[in-house]
Structure 1
């Protein structure tokens, strides 16, 4: 994922230079949350700078996990802990104290939503832009989209134990949002992150999580039409494979999560606050024009 992001950042670097003289105003600040196997240094920080220059709002990348180890921690730190650490960082950033916006990439959306739903006594998130987020889960285990490198090798080794094994759930971050369609019972019983995030367990639904998510001013869900990473790609819009199905995808509006409004997505949509956006390209390959059209307006 890091390589994909770097390629699209190279395309945007010239634009960042062109807009480098735009003054930053007293606008609402924002943070960018990187994805799996990535870190703040390099491409993601460049993208945050570009967004700041284009919007006139102050922004920065927030490193996943412990400072400087985002690439490693995004793989091996459980999402519950990633969200907790991000919560503590945000609460100590005085510039965010009156509220802030979020732009999140891929797995970073799991941390972003943890900030929105789980972070107590935190400044409010106002606008949230999701780029290729696995909101409804992914149907294929992470080893199907990781083929090379030491992190992948270690992750794939442990995933052979089984994605819903407690050890895997506690040590391989992406396992926290894997939802294998024909193993729904195992998923609800043993997955340690996404069922809580989406209020999927009937006896554990938390109205506070729903109220916090529904309080967003704008939710922008960007799906990449040629996404080869997220299975299915419609998970970026909270869509997923029909229970017991193989290839049939239920759009968000036909899922129980939406119809019964477990997290406030329907309430947001009914209020006209959800933007379902599709852009061409593979995972995270968002172009300059689409960045200007779909991301920047929600940072001003």
Structure 2
């Protein structure tokens, strides 16, 4: 599978020595696709995932819990693995109904390949590429109501054939049989399982600094003195962030990043 983003990445000479990826929600699957599917692309050093549906999600969040929303969700699930919805509805590519695994593996066009789930068609190259990461940071949101279950952010999921219990990642086949190299990474101490408070993508500035920034700093560069005119992009972005926080009255620990569905 070749993603359009892979072609773009290959053209960016500034990434030739390696780069980091920060993924938000379903964007994490595109990020992993770049790592696993990109043949001949520049190396990815660190992958930071915020609320990613890595093992799939059992529901599509639309408009809430009203009756019309429940009916809409049910109708979509009924034909979620049809060619039409797979082509026109992005979440259909990672909607995984645990009681409909046969249709999922046959009809879902993205996640089964990304997670190397199809028996007899597993690609060892995908495993090698993901296992080459220096660090994989998986951030789960404690009060996440968008991802079903929230543990999918850590690759945890329901067992095949049932909606309970939620299996921790270490008890899933994907991990135990090491389909994508996750077990290899974990045993090497390169997977960081992070749990933060808040709903989907509601992460505070202090948690960003604690769990994200250390993996985005270039450890290969010697410290250099910076003048105000030579401030890094990160410092500039940080100043802008503080400006908007002051402007709208947010405290240091209140989330700057907040997505509403």
Tell me if both proteins adopt one fold, taking TM over 0.5 as the criterion. Answer: yes
Among 59, 62, 77, the alignment partner of 1:146 is 62
CA distance in 2, matches of 1:122, 1:267: 22
* Aligned match of 1:113: 32
Q: 2:106 aligns with which of 185, 189, 193?
A: 189
User: So what's the TM-score if we normalise by structure 2?
Assistant: 0.77
CA gap of 1:267–1:291, structure 2 versus 1, over 3 A, is same
Distance 1:194 1:247 in 2: 21
Tell me the alpha carbon deviations over residues 111-142 of structure 1, each in whole angstroms, 9 at most, x when there is no partner: 000000001110011100000000000011x2
After superposition, where does 1:9-88 map in structure 2 within 5 Å?
84-88=3-7
Q: Tell me, in whole angstroms, the C-alpha distance in 2 between the residues paired with 1:157 and 1:271.
A: 42
2:170 matches 1:261 = no
One of 125, 128, 142 as aligned partner of 1:208: 125
Tell me the secondary structure at the aligned position of residue 202 of structure 1.
coil
| Aligned residue pair count | 211
1:276 and 1:228 mapped to 2: Cα distance? 19
Q: How many angstroms apart in 2 are the aligned matches of 1:232 and 1:160?
A: 16
Does the residue aligned with 1:240 lie in a helix, a strand or coil?
A: coil
Q: Is residue 234 from structure 1 mapped to residue 145 from structure 2 by the alignment?
A: no
Name the SS for the 1:249 alignment partner: coil
Is the contact between residue 143 and residue 199 of structure 2 (CA under 8 Å) also seen in structure 1? Answer: yes
Q: Deviation of residue 146 (structure 1)?
A: 1.2
Task: Kindly indicate whether the alpha-carbon contact (under 8 Å) linking 1:158 and 1:168 is maintained by their aligned counterparts in 2.
Answer: no
Matched, 1:250 2:164: no
Q: Aligned equivalents of 2:77 and 2:192: distance in 1?
A: 38
Find the structure with the greater CA-based Rg.
2
Query: Does the aligned pair in 2 maintain the 1:161–1:168 contact within 8 Å?
Result: no
Q: Contact conserved, 1:102 with 1:127, CA < 8 A, in 2?
A: yes
Contact 2:100-2:161 at 8 Å conserved across structures: no
Task: Tell me how far 1:244 sits from its aligned partner.
Answer: 2.2
What are the Cα deviations for residues 128-160 of structure 1, in whole angstroms up to 9, with x where unaligned? 0000000000011x2xx1129xxx9xx979836
- Structure 1 counterpart SS, 2:99: helix
What residue is the counterpart of 2:211 in the other structure?
294
SS in 1 for 2:100: helix
The runs of at least 4 consecutive aligned structure 1 residues that moved more than 6 Å come to 155-158
Deviations 1:257-285 (A, max 9, x none): 00000000000000000000000000000
Partner of 1:92: 11
When the two chains are superposed, the root-mean-square deviation of aligned CA atoms in Å is 1.9
The structure that is helix-richer by fraction is 1
* TM-score scaled by length of structure 1: 0.67
Equivalent pair of 1:101/1:125 in contact (CA under 8 Å): yes
- Deviation at 1:295? 0.5
Query: What's 1:104 paired with?
Result: 23
Change (3 A) 1:99 1:291: same
Q: What is the CA–CA distance in structure 2 between the aligned matches of 1:196 and 1:247, rounded to whole Å?
A: 24
Q: Which 5+ residue runs of structure 1 have no aligned equivalent?
A: 1-79
